[in-house]
Each structure stands twice: as C-alpha cells, then as structure tokens.
Amino acid sequence: MKIVVIQGPNLNMLGVREQNIYGPMKLEQIHAQMKDVATQNGVEIEFFQSNLEGEIVDKVQECYGDAQGIIINAAAYTHTSIAIRDAISAVSIPTIEVHISNIHRREEFRKENMLAPVCASSIVGFGPFGYHLAMMGMLQILNELKAAQEAHQKAQEEAQA
C-alpha cells in the first residue's frame, strides 16, 4: 500500500512563518514522524510539496493507479481551488485533508472549503498532530477497503465452487 502526502503553498515555511498559528515544527519533522508511522505499518509513503496549484493537480492525478490513499494540506488553495477539488474527485482515491490551524475559527474567507465535500475526512486544528491523526485514519480506511475486497473475492470464489 502507498500513501502520498501532498503539501500546498507556504507549508515549506513551517517553523518560520506565524509560529503563533502553525507552531515551531518544520515540515521535515512532520514528514519524519509520518514516515515512522508508515514504516511501522508496512506502508510506502511519498511526500510532495508545491506552492503552485497546477503542480498539486498534477500530483493528485499521478496518484491514480499508483497510490491507495492521499493525505493533503492544500493550505490556501483549500478555499479557492476548484481544480484541486476536481482532481481529487476524478481519481476516486480515499483522501484526507489536514489543516494545522482550525480554519473555522479564523478569517471568514478561510471558512469556505472547496475540498471537504470530496474528501473522506477533514482534520483541522490539531497542529502538526493532525498529520498523525490523518495517518491513523488513512490506515483504517485502507484496512477496511482491503478487508472488503478480500471478502468480495472470497464470496466470488465460493459462488464459483
């Protein structure tokens, strides 16, 4: 199984920008913790960060046929990008969105969320720990999908016997 973690604009500046909102943890530290969880669970993980909307759309599309799950923090594009929303919808891969801050308690424009309706879940306001929660949630989703596929296959085999 493979999970792709997609990080949007300005997340490369974590640990530097607005520490009162996003905290002191750097993106590399978050990714290291996620990699540890993936390794412990026998899951491949890939990380991608871009400040460009089109590159994020391309990365989501590249996940089709290559990954079983996506964890995305589209950052500011959450509130504006129909293109990212459409890409997530098109690939039909379980996707969990993460936001370090609680976007619902911030500026009015951040309360508009273009991605949530096409994601399996949204995790907001837990700081960097939200990525750990997303990993746990994605592992659960993938295990449930695997169990359902195995049960379906077994039922087909029994029907043919």
The catalytic residue among 22, 64, 79, 104 is 22
The number of residues in the chain equals 161
Whether residue 15 contacts residue 27, with contact meaning beta carbons closer than 8 Å, is answered with yes
132 in active site: no
The catalytic residue among 99, 104, 131, 132 is 99
Contacts of residue 111, Cβ cutoff 8 Å, sequence gap at least 6:
103, 104
Whether residue 47 contacts residue 31, with contact meaning beta carbons closer than 8 Å, is answered with yes
Name the residue with tokens 């195995």: 150
Distance from C-alpha of 54 to C-alpha of 131, rounded to nearest angstrom: 23
71 phi and psi, to 5 degrees? -115, 125
104 in active site: no
Catalytic residues: 22, 99
